[in-house]
Each structure stands twice: as structure tokens, then as C-alpha cells.
Amino acid sequence: MQLTSFGDDYRALVIGSSGALGSAFCQLLRSDPACAEVVELGRRTTPGMDLQEPESIAAAAEALAGAAPFQLMLLATGVLHGPDFQPEKSLAALDADVLQQVFQVNSIGPALVLRHFLPLLDPGGALAVLSARVGSIADNRLGGWYAYRASKAALNMLLKTAAIEHARKHPQARLLCLHPGTVISPLSQPFRGAAAARPARQAAAELLTVVDNSTAAESGHFYAYDGQAVPW
């Protein structure tokens, strides 16, 4: 695929490049003749970055400052379950340590990414974070999944607030929340609906199209992989 809104020889940064969607983003961007460079960032890259280690976020941004600006930044991270926990089905299942862990990866870490990496974004560039429809308060009809829902709702508010501030100095920039839908990945595999999941490459291409087609007027908004707006 070829993106058209970033000009020739644009440079992209993919944070969370080892995940299913992150890896697919990298592959697609490297196939774009207009993309001059794709920089991957994750736990095993150099520099490395771990959303559970705040100091690593600041250090990674400092290490990449000389390579800025990036015309496209993608934050392809998130946690729904782990070896020792699953999404909560009831209030009785809430656990303080799990809440802290999920919020650290889905909300606090991304907030610090915004703090440290937005200065590295081209004034006319785009930054997109992977959210989820279940983080929509208006769309919550089933309940459950307390930590994941709340942490993604928090991410949405953080991105929206950052977009307002960033637009004061850089009105042409685009900051977006994205709902990828159900994707074939370790995150979705254990749950109902996984059988209908889409390949990561397909989902990544759809999300890149949404970002590429967006305008500065849509900065701070929440969109699904098909380009439809998702209610907050």
C-alpha cells in the first residue's frame, strides 16, 4: 500500500513493533515506496522501551530525538489478559494489582509516550494509538472487563486532551484513537469472537488507511478500522 498524506520520504515510528498489529504495521510501511524509514521500538529493540518502566520511555525518546521529526507515529500496544489474570466478569473479581498492571500498560505508559514523543512528531504529522470499542462509555451495553474498559476509556481521554493542547501550537497535526476490531493475535485468541477475527495485516492496512485519510479537523477523535466514528 502507499500512503499519500505524509509526502515523499516520510519517516514512521512504530511503538510496540513486536505485537501482531505492530509487526504488520512495520511490514506494510516498509512496502510503501514513499516511506523512507521505519523505526521500531519495543522491549527488545535498541533503544528499548517498556511501558511498565517509565524511565525507559523518557530514555527512548531522548535517544531518538536526533532522528526526529517523524511524520507518522503508531502506538500499537495494550494488555487484556496475562498469565495470572483474565478480564473480570464481576466487581467481585476486581484486584488492585491487576488494575494497576492494566492501567500501567493501557493508560499510564501511553500518557508518558504522549509526553515524551509528541515533541518528536512533525508539525503536520499524525500520531495514532490503539484503543478499543469496549473503552467507549456510550457503547458499553454488556458490562464486565472492568480494568480493560476503564483503562482504554482513560487512554481515550488522555489522547483527546493531548490533541487539544497540541493543536494550539501545531494545528495541522492529527492525533487519533483507533479501534482495530477483533484481530488474530494472542490478545484475542482466548475469547468469544476470535473465530471471526481478521488477519493482522488486513487490520493494519485498514487502520493505516483511516489515518492517511484523516484531516487536522478530525484530530482528537476516535475511529474504527472502517473509518466510522466511535462514540466516547
Query: Domains in the chain, please, with CATH?
Result: 10-224 (3.40.50.720)
- Give the DSSP letter of residue 68: P
pLDDT of residue 184: 87
- pLDDT tens column, 152-173: 999 999 999 999 999 999 999 9
CB 71 within 8 A of CB 126: yes
pLDDT of residue 91: 95
* Per-residue cell: 199: 488477519
Element (H, E) at 156: helix 146-169
pTM over 0.75: yes
State whether residue 214 is helix, strand or coil. coil
Q: What residue type is assigned to position 200 of the chain? A: A
Listed residue (178, 183, 179, 180) closest to 196, CA to CA? 183
Q: What is the pLDDT along the chain (232 residues), one digit of tens a residue?
A: 899 999 999 999 999 999 999 999 999 999 999 999 999 999 999 999 999 999 999 999 999 999 999 999 999 999 999 989 999 999 999 999 999 999 999 999 999 999 999 999 999 999 999 999 999 999 999 999 999 999 999 999 999 999 999 999 999 999 999 999 999 876 655 665 555 788 999 999 999 999 999 999 999 999 999 999 999 9
Phi then psi for 201, rounded to 5 degrees? Answer: -65, -40
pLDDT of residue 86: 93
- pLDDT tens column, 171-195: 999 999 999 999 987 665 566 555 5
Question: Rounded to whole angstroms, how far apart are CA atoms 57 and 120?
Answer: 13
* Per-residue cell: 113: 509516550
pLDDT of residue 189: 59
CB 187 within 8 A of CB 128: no
Q: What is the DSSP string of 1-44?
A: ----TT-TTEEEEEETTTSHHHHHHHHHHHT-TTEEEEEEESTT
pLDDT of residue 191: 60
- Distance in angstroms between the alpha carbons of the first and the last residue of the chain: 30
